[in-house]
Amino acid sequence: MNTTLHFRRRLLGTALLVVATLAAPHAIAQSDWPTKPIRFVVPFAPGGTSEIVARAVAAELTKQLGQTVYVENKPGGAGTVAMADVAKSPPDGYTMILGHVGTLAVNPYMLANQPYDVNKDFVPVTLLAKVPNVFVIHPDVPAKDFAEFVAYAKKNPGKLNYGSAGNGSAGHLAMEYLKLVTGMDIAHIPYKGTGPQLTDLLAGRTQASSAGLPALAPHIKSGKLRAIAVGTPQRVAQMPDVPTVAEMGYKDFETSQWYGILVPAGTPPALVKRLQEESAKALRSPAVTERFAGDGAVAGGGPSSEFAAFIAREQAIWSDIVRRAHIHSD
């Protein structure tokens, strides 16, 4: 009897040792993380608000973690190229992506047959920022303000073009929503990023756009673009004379750009929590605080569950707008 009991105890001890040995590298890997550079994927071309937010946070994370957090711009397919890449990446904490309203709340309802499921193949880490959407026109457009622009567009249906950072981008959504409530008929020209579309807008090849304040502010200040409205519920401090769309008679109209970090599904919860905590710390840094204040951005930094709930609410809102405005990918 004693021999049998002794054998069982030895067998149990051996099994526990095997489990501990197998688990040890994973535990050590998590406790030592990061031991190499971290890839931060931005699903758009350089020059837009998404890159501005990502680089500001990446710079602080690099200081805090002791490893380089580098931004990789990967445009294409309304953000699906980058999202598909990250979805297939190892869930080891060394690849993350900047998610936003288009890739997370609109594409699931605008695009058919995405090669991933945004709600199953990714883990939300934290919301980084909400940024005011600004509606701008080229100075050559014969309109001094929002009301005059709407009136001019209605008198000239189909003759004006607006550019966006691409199908499903925040600017595309904002302009289509504006068209829906105002009844304007303006053609959409998608680009592969805010930078390229601003090049054509500044040259007068397109007449209007909507984008985040960080990307547009220098051109508004220089007079190369005319701000006619903001999509936030209240006016923004950086442009107190620019009205909201809501106060121009379109009650409850609201659009803003928002950005957050996601990682591949299967990433250990401990790493998700660590990354969320480090991101929250980065958002509180003087450099990011000053940059966001100048851009009118509201910092996030909350837990993963909070960001997941936020995404779910945005999906409910934008799925309805996509249907009503007949927003499509072409």
**DSSP assignment of 242-307, as one string?**
SPBTGGGT-TT---EEEEEEEEETT--HHHHHHHHHHHHHHHTSHHHHHHHHHHT-EE----HHHH
Q: 210 and 136 in one domain?
A: yes
4, part of any domain: no
Q: 125 and 265 in one domain?
A: yes
11, part of any domain: no
Confidence at residue 216, expressed as pLDDT on a 0 to 100 scale? 94
Confidence at residue 289, expressed as pLDDT on a 0 to 100 scale? 95
Q: Which residues contact residue 44 at a Cβ distance below 8 angstroms, ignoring those fewer than 6 apart?
A: 50, 51, 73, 75, 79, 165, 166, 169, 192, 193, 194
Q: 207 and 149 in one domain?
A: yes
Determine the Cα–Cα distance for residues 185 and 179; give it in Å rounded to an integer: 7
Determine the Cα–Cα distance for residues 1 and 158; give it in Å rounded to an integer: 91
Domain boundary among 196, 214, 248: 248
| Helix %, strand %, coil % of the chain (to 5) | 50, 20, 30
**Phi, psi for residue 24 in degrees, rounded to 5:** -60, -50
Confidence at residue 268, expressed as pLDDT on a 0 to 100 scale? 97
Confidence at residue 245, expressed as pLDDT on a 0 to 100 scale? 97
42, part of any domain: yes
From the list 223, 196, 218, 195, the residue with the least C-alpha distance to 294 is 218
Instruction: Record the pTM.
Output: 0.81
5, part of any domain: no
**Phi, psi for residue 259 in degrees, rounded to 5:** -140, 140
Domain boundary among 248, 269, 285: 248
Domain boundary among 229, 248, 267: 248
Residues 112/56, Cβ–Cβ less than 8 Å:
no
Q: 79 and 163 in one domain?
A: no
Residue numbers in the chain where pLDDT is lower than 50? 1, 3-8, 11-28
67, part of any domain: yes
The torsion region of residue 45 among left (phi > 0), alpha (psi -120 to 50) and beta comes to beta
Q: 138 and 110 in one domain?
A: no
Q: 179 and 113 in one domain?
A: no
CA distances from 83 to 33, 108, 330 (A): 23, 12, 19
Confidence at residue 252, expressed as pLDDT on a 0 to 100 scale? 87
Q: 263 and 123 in one domain?
A: yes
* Domain extent for 169: 132-248
18, part of any domain: no
How many domains does the chain fold into?
2
Q: 136 and 126 in one domain?
A: no
Determine the Cα–Cα distance for residues 226 and 105; give it in Å rounded to an integer: 29
Based on the number of CB atoms within 10 Å of its own CB, is 306 exposed (0-12), middle (13-18) or buried (19 or more)? middle
Q: 120 and 269 in one domain?
A: yes
2, part of any domain: no
Helix (H, G, I), strand (E, B) or coil at 309: helix
Q: Which residues contact residue 320 at a Cβ distance below 8 angstroms, ignoring those fewer than 6 apart?
A: none
CA distances from 79 to 16, 95, 111 (A): 45, 16, 11
Q: What is the CATH number of the domain that holds 241?
A: 3.40.190.10
CA distances from 273 to 261, 269, 304, 323 (A): 12, 6, 8, 36
> CA triplet 108, 245, 252: central angle to 5 degrees?
65
Determine the Cα–Cα distance for residues 259 and 53; give it in Å rounded to an integer: 8
Q: 139 and 102 in one domain?
A: no
Residues 180/324, Cβ–Cβ less than 8 Å:
yes
Question: Hunting for tokens 């209240």 — which residue is that?
Answer: 234
Confidence at residue 11, expressed as pLDDT on a 0 to 100 scale? 45
Helix (H, G, I), strand (E, B) or coil at 326: coil
Confidence at residue 24, expressed as pLDDT on a 0 to 100 scale? 41
Q: 80 and 54 in one domain?
A: yes
Q: What is the CATH number of the domain that holds 100?
A: 3.40.190.150
From the list 198, 53, 225, 200, the residue with the least C-alpha distance to 132 is 53
253, part of any domain: no
Q: 239 and 140 in one domain?
A: yes
Number of H helices, E strands in the chain: 12, 10
